Amino acid sequence: MGIPAGASIVSMPDTGKPYPTLLAFFTRRFPKIPQQVWRERIIAGKVLTETGEPVTLDTAYMPNSRMFYFREVREEPTIPFAEEVLFANDHLMVVCKPHFLPVSPGGPYVRETLLSRLREKTGNPFVSPINRIDRATAGLVLISVNKATRGLYQQLFMQGLVRKTYEAVADFREDAGQSEWLVENRIEQGEPWFRMQTCAGTVNARSQIRLIESMGTRARFQLFALTGKKHQLRIHLSGLGFPIVNDRYYPDLLPELDDDFDHPLQLLSREVAFRDPVTGKEMSFASTRDLIL
């Protein structure tokens, strides 16, 4: 059997014996989903092994392997924008993601994600993101299409060997007094859980920021994420007094509304560059999307 497009993935770590039942594992791993729901999914054949075989309630826990399962939502919003594949070979895809489209399933999004769309288009169940960007952010995402070489590309990010360039349009003050900044601070999870915040402690977030051009009360910035903390660039620009245009999280959390497709967050993952660990070639890609100054 194969693994249909749209399946989500969960890894089963080696926690040591005695191993839990699959039902107990899924219930603990996803505490917001009732155990009865997982029981019904397993019985209905909606939980699969890596080879695409449905598990049963009696299937033994398999440490250091993955399970594929199917998330279910009552109503899923439609994202009316298309991704663009910039490059593809037997190991890697480089894709430019539109604003509003999540990279992976989460919340109300199952099929309307970059991952699900690519799996459906390619028929490849092993399509997997190597890096992620926020749903609100547009731009470049590296996608593994071969699980045998996936770890080589993941190591590039873990070792800081990928040169990432972002672009943003933000509110601006003409009296800013400088055109380059190095921001270094500590970022941790804030309140509510989906926002991040700066706090005292050892630095874990570093960004270089450059002013490219300004026009009245807005400016275009080039940003280099030297670390990869969640919402890092949004927080660092906001902290300088330059909140990104249409940012509903920083500096202040605005009331939750339906997506306003006419006013996307003006943040773009513009360029990525790296030495390909398989071919040894220098690779460089750039998004053709535009931000509005």
pLDDT in tens, 1-26: 344 455 678 888 888 889 999 999 99
Amino acid, res. 225 = A
Look at residue 262 and tell me whether its pLDDT is greater than 70. yes
Structural domains of the chain sorted by starting position, each given as residue range(s) with its CATH number in brackets: 8-69 (3.10.290), 84-160 (3.30.2350.10), 165-267 (3.30.2350.10)
Q: Which residue has the tokens 């490219």?
A: 212
| Maximum CA extent, the chain | 68
Are the CB atoms for 268 and 291 separated by under 8 Å? Answer: yes
Q: Which residue has the tokens 């998330």?
A: 71
Sign of the dihedral defined by the CA atoms of residues 125, 130, 135, 139, in that order: negative
Are the CB atoms for 226 and 207 separated by under 8 Å? Answer: yes
Give, rounded to a whole angstrom, the gap between the first and last alpha carbons of the chain. Answer: 50
**Contacts of 158 by beta carbon, 8 Å cutoff, 6+ apart:** none
Report residue 292's pLDDT band, with 50, 70 and 90 as the boundaries.
Answer: confident
Look at residue 118 and tell me whether its pLDDT is greater than 50. yes
Q: With CA atoms as reference, report the closest residue to 224 among 282, 274, 173, 163.
A: 163
Look at residue 233 and tell me whether its pLDDT is greater than 80. yes
65-84 average pLDDT score: 84
Angstrom CA distances, 62 to 27, 43, 265, stand at 16, 18, 42
- Inter-helix orientation angle 22-29/35-43, to 10°: 130
Mean pLDDT, the chain, rounded, equals: 91
pLDDT at 4: 47
pTM of the model: 0.78
Report residue 30's pLDDT band, with 50, 70 and 90 as the boundaries.
Answer: confident
pLDDT at 32: 78
